Amino acid sequence: MFPQIVSGGRHSGIYCGAEFLRYQQFIGGPSAWQVGQAGQGWQVARAFWEWTPSRPVKADGSGEFIFYPDTEYPAPVDPLMVYRSLNFGPLASIRALDTQSYLPGYGLQADVPSVNGTVFVSGDMHGNWIADVVEDDQTGLLNQYQVAPLVPTLRQGTTPENLAAGFQRAATANLPGVNLRAASAAVEFAPSSMGRGGADELVANALPGSPFAVHVAASRAIEAATMLGNKHVQFMEWVEHGYGIVQLEQDKAMFECWWQNKLQENAPDVLGVQMVSFANDEPTRLPTPRFKNQVDSVILHGMSVQPSSSSRAAPLAPEPVQVLAR
């Protein structure tokens, strides 16, 4: 068993549909359910549940899942309540923040966690983006928060043309006992998807007939410029498509961007980049000190890039689970 939250972005229509229903309530129009049955909101909610491999949640806004036998995926009690929350013991509390827009319709506040120490998993960048989370005033050149220069990753993408796939920081920028990135309060992990367009496709549309190598080269220039203007970004790649995996452990979180050539049938999955964020400070650790709320390439901490794996270390949960009949 492992914690899993599958979330739909605003492109799926969930956010827009829920906001539309809430607006109808606000202006004194038909009830949310009436509008939902007849309009877009109910349809996008139905599509969400049909395409999301997730059991339904309680219709109370808590986001807690209803437990059913492993083979059962019944219809939700309230299709519009798509917010999900999963407390995975002492290891993690997972909040699907992108699906909270309808909570005010139930008189509930959004369940926004404290920023400090949080791992934000998002897809808003439409590409591969892994970064520290800092205040806007720390992104300038001359301030407390400092980072190392950017360098090519030298990682192979899914095509021969994408040889050095993206940019990362050359070092952590920290020194033994000196945390130059202390202003970072959390980390953000935004892997790509299979459907969203990248910089290479933007260039292809702007330069019809140009070769793919030109698209990749232009993407590298865009990535470099973006990271130069956003120094909290620790890795960026805007050509490859795929998915992301977060491996949670007691002492660290591992972030992996997996890529697949969506134009090639039965294309293999390629581990493009692997980053790590540590749970505790080790300021005197050699050769590289470690500080929490920062994300770095695993290579900078003497680790090799390889798929994460682990085995169960804790006993099964002792609490009884109520299994509901179909």
Kindly indicate the confidence band of residue 227, based on its pLDDT and cuts at 50, 70 and 90: very high
pLDDT(326) > 70: no
Count CB atoms within 10 A of the CB of residue 29.
12
Task: Please give the pLDDT value at position 113.
Answer: 62
Give the pair of three-digit tokens for residue 32: 């949310």
Residue type, 316: L
Segment 256-284 mean pLDDT = 94
Task: Please give the pLDDT value at position 239.
Answer: 95
Task: Please give the pLDDT value at position 313.
Answer: 65
Task: Please give the pLDDT value at position 5.
Answer: 47
pLDDT(192) > 70: yes
Task: Please give the pLDDT value at position 92.
Answer: 81
Kindly indicate the confidence band of residue 17, based on its pLDDT and cuts at 50, 70 and 90: very low
For residue 217, the Cα-to-chain-centroid distance in whole angstroms is: 26
Give the pair of three-digit tokens for residue 217: 């080269």
Task: Please give the pLDDT value at position 19.
Answer: 35
pTM of the predicted model, to two decimals? 0.78
Task: Please give the pLDDT value at position 256.
Answer: 96
Q: What is the pLDDT of residues 34-47, one digit of tens each?
A: 434 445 566 777 77
Task: Please give the pLDDT value at position 125.
Answer: 66
Of residues 180 and 308, which shows the higher confidence score? 180
**Mean pLDDT value across the chain:** 79
Of residues 163 and 85, which shows the higher confidence score? 163
Segment 225-244 mean pLDDT = 94
Task: Please give the pLDDT value at position 189.
Answer: 94
Counting residues of the chain whose pLDDT is more than 90, the rounded percentage is 46
Q: What is the pLDDT of residues 139-165, one digit of tens each?
A: 666 788 999 999 999 899 999 999 999
Kindly indicate the confidence band of residue 83, based on its pLDDT and cuts at 50, 70 and 90: confident
